[in-house]
Amino acid sequence: MTKDGGAVMYYPYYFDYRDHSNEVISDLSIYTFPKNYQHGLKLIRDALGGERHDELFYSYLLSIAPNEEANHIISRIRDDELKHNKMFRTIYFQLTGQYLPYGEDEAFVKPESYCEGLKTALLGELGAVERYRQILFAMENPVHANMLIEIITDELKHSGLYNMLMTLNKC
């Protein structure tokens, strides 16, 4: 940004870091590699921290699914989540040379109902998108960025599927 608050030139485009109120966005650190790198690694560790809870949650949701279609959809989502865990572990290892330990046993509280479980899952998917975007911003390697884009788009797909299940079940 220029000292007078004007646009910064990045050939061939101009970027003006102002929001709709014409105020300059002052903290660009979440978008700036390598400033955001350590935060991105922390978010990957956090994403993998709840693996055991997620496993128990999906098992429970599958056990109370009202029909075969819902069971199939939730199974596909669970399988995607297992794939995401492997992808995050791969990215983390390739970036740090370290393997992350698997999560410890965690207390699992059953949702009050199938609909409450779907709502929890939906909100979890949407929250994950917000966190995973920040990991994406910390990726310098295009392969890792592409992996994050796949994970993020899967999470968005899952949120649509949970919305559909909530609608079908009149939640």
pLDDT in tens, 11-23: 444 455 555 666 7
- Stated pTM of the model: 0.82
In this structure, which amino acid lies at residue 65?
A
With H, G, I as helix, E, B as strand and everything else as coil, classify residue 8. strand
Nearest to 165 by CA among 71, 59, 80, 57: 71
Instruction: Report how far residue 82's alpha carbon sits from residue 158's, in angstroms, rounded to the nearest whole number.
Output: 13
CA 95 to CA 160: how far, in whole Å?
Answer: 32
Residue 20 identity: H
Using 50, 70 and 90 to split pLDDT, how confident is the model at 170? very high
Assess whether pLDDT exceeds 70 at residue 79: yes
Q: What is the pLDDT of residue 115?
A: 97
Task: Give the H or E element holding residue 102.
Answer: none
Residue 142 has pLDDT above 50, yes or no: yes
Domain boundaries, the chain: 29-168
Mean pLDDT of the chain: 86
Tell me if residue 2 falls in helix, strand or coil.
coil
If you ran DSSP here, which 8-state letter would residue 13 be given? E
Task: Give the integer Cα–Cα distance in Å for 150 and 106.
Answer: 28
* Second-level CATH architecture of 29-168: Up-down Bundle (1.20)
